[in-house]
Amino acid sequence: MKQNLNMKQEFLEIRDNFQFLDDWEDRYKYLIELGGTLAPFEEQNRTEANKVNGCVSRVWLSSTYEDIDGQTHITYSGDSDAMIVKGLVAILLAFCSGQSARWIVDNDALKMFDELGLREHLTTQRSNGLASMVERIKSEARAQL
């Protein structure tokens, strides 16, 4: 994966850790561990509006906006009721959260998951759910442009 100077340190550490792990079972354990690092998701955010459609597991994403130097930056929080999916949410948030709407639109989160070697090990349903999460984030970012 090419280095992007706007990538957050949190994501770069996750990427480096995945590159270090050769065995899929170790990557699977790390994915679950990452899910456990998500900040607690407030109960009032578990709304139908924050629920991501297209996921077999229940997934919620909420966002806040901040104008920084004339650009809208979006900070996300999220959660899932499935451990593996919660890990995918953690990686997606490490990649996108806090970035500008333009950055989110211009960077391919699904390609990032491919480069980490994760999507090839997901079931079709989980892969479709991941695509739904990414589309939800990109759609929200496009709306801010």
**Helix (H) or strand (E) segment spanning residue 30:** helix 24-35
Residue type, 3: Q
Rounded Cα gap, residues 138 and 79, in angstroms: 18
Structure tokens at 56: 């077999």
Residues 6 or more apart from 108 whose CB is under 8 A from it?
A: none
* Sign of the dihedral defined by the CA atoms of residues 85, 56, 132, 81, in that order: negative
Residue with tokens 């953690």: 90
Structure tokens at 59: 């997934």
Catalytic residue from among 7, 34, 55, 61 = 55
Among this protein's residues, is 96 annotated catalytic?
Answer: no
Closest by CA position to 109, among listed 125, 86, 90, 123: 90
Catalytic residues: 55
